[in-house]
Amino acid sequence: MARDWLTDAQAALTGADDRVTASETRINELLAAPIDPVPLPQQSTIDRTRLPKALAAKLVRREAQGLPVPRHAHNASAIAAPDSSTSDALTGSALTRRQRDALRAQLPHTEDTSGRTDSMLDRFVDAFHASGRLATLRNLLAVVAVGLAAAMLFGPLEPSPSTIAAIAALAWALLFAAVAEERAENRADLALSGPDYWALEHATVAEPGPEPGTPEHQLAQIAAALAAQITACPAWASDDLSVHRIQLDPDAEAAQITAHATEISRARDALGPTPDGDGDAALRARIQRAGNEQILDTVTASLTRRVAALYRYAAELSALNTDYLALQAVERSLTASSHLGNLVRQTGGDELTVRHLDRLTADARDLHAAITTRLQILTGDLTALHELPAGPDDNHA
C-alpha cells in the first residue's frame, strides 16, 4: 500500500460528525493494513555492564533515593560542548552549572521522585564544600569552641552568661556545619560528574524498536510517517504556526510514541505463549496471562488515541497547507497584477484591471478566512494532542 493513507487523511475526516472517532477508527484500520515502511526514531539505552562498577553502583543509589537517572547519554559530549571543545567537554570532573542544566534538560531521565530541591543555599553549601572551606570552617569552629570551654574551665576566663552563650552559639554553628557538610557530601557522592557522563555516553547503545508485525510497531510506523509529513509541509514553517512549532516537536512526538510502543511490545513478548494443560496451575496461569493481555490492550488503545490525535493534526495541517500555497499564488498574482495595471491603464483597460484585482483580492480574503478557520481547528487538535499521555518518556530531549 502506498502513502495513500497519508494523502487521503483530510478526505477521511472531511464531513465526519465526530473527527475524534473517525480518526481513531482510521488508525485502527491502518493497524491491519500494509503501509510503506519508514525509519523509526532511533532509541538508545545504557548498557550498564559496560559501566565502571562504581558508576553502576552510583546509579543504583540514585534510583533508590528517587533521583533522576539518564535513560541514555547519546550525544552528551556535544550537549556539554559549548563550554569547551567536544573532545574534552566531559573529561574534567567539574561540570559548569550550564552544562549540568543542559544535560538534564536534553537527555531523557527517569522521573524525579526524591522531593529534593536545589535551593540557592544548597548550591552555596555545595560550592563551599567543594572548595574545602566548609571543612575548614567546621574545624575552626571546633577549635574555637574547645578553646573557649577550656579557658573557662581551666584558665582565666570567667564563666559569665555571655561566655556560656558564645560557647552555645559556637556549638550550634558547629552542629549546623557538620550537618551541612554531611548533606553536601551525600549530594556530591550522588552527583554525576563529567567523567560519569562520558562513561554513560560510551555505554549508550542502540535499542531495538517494537517487534515487527505487532500493532505497536505499526503505531510507531504511522507516527513516524505523520511526523515526517507535518515537518515537510511549507505551512509548518510559516509565521502563522510559529506558536505551534514551540508547543509541538513532531519528531520528538514520534520518538515518544515509539519508545512507549517498544515498552508495550516487550511486555507482550515477556508474557510468552499461552500455558497449556488442564490443571489448576495452568488454568490460573491462563487467567493471569489474560488479565495481563487485557491491561496491555488498554495501554495500546491509549497509545492509539495518541496517534489518532497526531493523525488529526497532520490531516488538518495538510488542508491548511493547500490553502496556504493557494494564498501564496494569489499574493504573487496580486503583486504581478499591480505592475500589469500600469501597462493596462496606458491602453485604456482600467476597468478590466480593476475587476481582475478585485477578484484576486476577494480570493485572497476568502483564503485568509479559510486559513483562519483551519488554524482554529488545528489549534484545537494540538490542545487535544497535549491532553493525551505520551507514555513514560515525557522528559525526552
DSSP 8-state symbol, 150 = H
70 beta partners:
109
How far apart CA 267 and CA 210 sit, in angstroms, is: 10
Write down the pTM of the prediction: 0.64
How far apart CA 197 and CA 356 sit, in angstroms, is: 65
Residue bearing the bigger pLDDT, 227 or 126: 227
pLDDT tens-place string over residues 260-309: 999 999 898 888 887 787 778 878 888 888 888 899 999 999 999 999 88
Beta carbons within 10 angstroms of residue 127's beta carbon:
12
386: alpha, beta or left, given left = phi > 0 and alpha = psi -120 to 50? Answer: alpha
User: Rounded to a whole number, what is the largest CA-CA distance in the chain?
Assistant: 119
Judged by average pLDDT, the poorest of 74-78, 138-142, 375-379 is 138-142
Angle between helices 19-30 and 280-346 (to 10 degrees): 120
Mean pLDDT in residue range 338-362? 55
Instruction: Give the length of the chain.
Output: 397
How far apart CA 12 and CA 392 sit, in angstroms, is: 31
